[in-house]
Structure 1
Amino acid sequence: MAVTEQRTHPGHALFARYAFPPNELGYCGPPGTGTRPGTPDAGLAAHAREFDGAWPYLKILAEAAGQPDPLDEPVVRSYWVGGPLLAELDASELLARLRDAFTGQVTGLLAQIPPENVLAHHSFHVFVVYPWIRFLERDPQTPLKVMQDCRIRWGIVDEVDDEHAIILTRPLAFENGVLTLGAPIAERVRWCRGSALHAPAPIPGQTVSAHWNWICGPLTDADTTALEAATRKTLKLVNSARRRL
């Protein structure tokens, strides 16, 4: 579902970069949309609405920004990466709308989260809405791996080898009953497949984001700070909610 940015609205292209990795694996969104990175997709906006995990957040963020298009680039970046727009939402309204959007689903800790802790960020969906957080005490290895792969993580490119790169990134860890970020490890992730580019070629020393087994693109210092801040805020609220279970 990744696209060639020169032929696509930048917000649509950014959404595709981050949504493609789980869609390719069959986890999120409609089938058949993530077969080839680098393929322009004129129906991208219609497909985006079928990503029922991301779309409610994008709509709420767009409304807060006074933007009619939920795939506006700053809106999309706020959901996947973070930034000041996250603080402009009414927390109580956001929580009510998320509970309504995901009603009938297994929603992890969503029922336990107080309004002041809700966040319109992908990390919130991974750690709070998905049910994996509830399985940590039973079998930490499996939920940790799923949440680590599913969250948007940042890392520094160490080396690039054909279609893959090695990035140094901090994995999730579960220590003494607390979900946290561990010491940096080397992780091998893909950035292209053959001649089809999913993201700009990574450069050693550059900070990039990754989702599942794909690099999604470079991060500025501000992007990295925003992503780390949103991730840490979500981890803090999750650990607090788990103590109340």
Structure 2
Amino acid sequence: MSAEGALMFARYAYPPNALGYCGPAGAEAMLRGDATADIARRARRFEGAWSYLEFLASSAGIADPLDERVVEAYWVGGDLLAGVSSAALVSFLTTRFAGQSGGSWRSAADRALPHHTFQVFEVYPWSELLARTGHPQALSVLDQCRIRTGVVTAVTGETATVESRPLTVSPGGGLVPGSLRRESVRWSVDGWSLLSGLAAGDRVALHWNWVCDTLTADQAGRIEVMEARYRVAVG
């Protein structure tokens, strides 16, 4: 088990776990950077994410689904995605996600990749719900559930102010990045964080109301490219 891979998984998986959307109870354990073996055990109970990690590791000939290269490819993007068969992924998910209703993933054999944006925009039902009803809650969930990029403008204690671009609906009905907005997010809880610190000017990854990690320009670009791929697919 890769300790660094487990920590990267926890950085991105903690926020939906803390909100009760996925993973086992006791989300605070995901912030224990000194307990990576426990994080690894918990990671297996994130049914959606773990399925992608297993598939991606197997496709790349990597024994450990928590290998850092695998985890980064799933949350951020990376070279491992280039070797994946989209048709094989859809076939794999047909068994793993047999009870998953909604979404366009069953017809995505030409574009599916084991990346979080595919799960958000094509497996979850929110894109189809938004297209059918225009319900603002569907847009809000898509906006918050995706991994989005931003830049820190201020840090106050365990909270940061970040500039990011929200998802909006274009006049033609597609999903596009909106104008920059400022939002308040957490990066630490009661002194627990997997980041060593945060400062104004840091480029970051955001998931729900949480700063997952600081990013290089290359990593931010990979996240944005993958999002554009699936925004266009469902637009």
TM-score clears 0.5? yes
Q: Residue in 2 aligned with 1:31? A: 25
Is 1:145 matched with 2:140?
yes
- Residue deviations 1:155-214 (CA, integer Å, cap 9, x gap): 011111111111111111112311121111111110112322232322211110011111
Structure 2 residue matching 1:192: 3-state secondary structure = coil
- Once superposed, which parts of structure 1, at least 4 consecutive aligned residues long, lie more than 4 Å away? none
Is 1:209 matched with 2:201?
no
Q: Distance in 2 between matches of 1:90 and 1:24?
A: 33
Q: Distance in 2 between matches of 1:107 and 1:201?
A: 40
2:41 to 42, 46, 49: 46
Decide whether the 8 Å contact of 1:86 with 1:119 is kept in 2. yes
Q: Residue in 2 aligned with 1:3? A: none
Listed as ranges, the matches of 1:66-85 within 5 Å are 66-85=61-80
Q: Distance in 2 between matches of 1:46 and 1:81?
A: 22
Q: Distance in 2 between matches of 1:191 and 1:44?
A: 18
Q: Which runs of 5+ in 2 are unaligned?
A: none
Decide whether the 8 Å contact of 1:127 with 1:147 is kept in 2. yes
- Quickly say closer, same or farther: Cα 1:118–1:36, change in 2 above 3 A: closer
Identity of matched residues, %: 41
Structure 2 residue matching 1:106: 3-state secondary structure = coil
Listed as ranges, the matches of 1:9-158 within 5 Å are 9-34=3-28, 37-38=31-32, 40-41=34-35, 42-113=37-108, 115-136=109-130, 137-158=132-153
Q: Residue in 2 aligned with 1:228? A: 224
- Quickly say closer, same or farther: Cα 1:10–1:36, change in 2 above 3 A: closer
Q: Distance in 2 between matches of 1:107 and 1:200?
A: 40
Paired positions, count: 231
Q: Residue in 2 aligned with 1:192? A: 188
Q: Which runs of 5+ in 1 are unaligned?
A: 1-7, 240-245
Q: Distance in 2 between matches of 1:37 and 1:87?
A: 31
Q: Residue in 2 aligned with 1:242? A: none
Listed as ranges, the matches of 1:161-200 within 5 Å are 161-175=156-170, 176-200=172-196
Q: Once superposed, what is the RMSD of the aligned Cα atoms?
A: 1.6
Deviates further, 95-104 or 121-130: 95-104
Q: Distance in 2 between matches of 1:219 and 1:107?
A: 33
Q: Distance in 2 between matches of 1:111 and 1:88?
A: 20
Deviates further, 193-202 or 145-154: 193-202
Measure how far apart 1:75 and its partner are: 0.5
The residue identity in structure 1 corresponding to 2:8 is L
Decide whether the 8 Å contact of 1:127 with 1:234 is kept in 2. yes
Give the TM-score normalised by structure 2: 0.93
Give the TM-score normalised by structure 1: 0.89
The residue identity in structure 2 corresponding to 1:46 is R
Q: Distance in 2 between matches of 1:194 and 1:30?
A: 20
Measure how far apart 1:111 and its partner are: 2.5
Measure how far apart 1:36 and its partner are: 6.8
Deviates further, 216-225 or 173-182: 173-182
Structure 2 residue matching 1:173: 3-state secondary structure = strand
Greater share of helix:
2
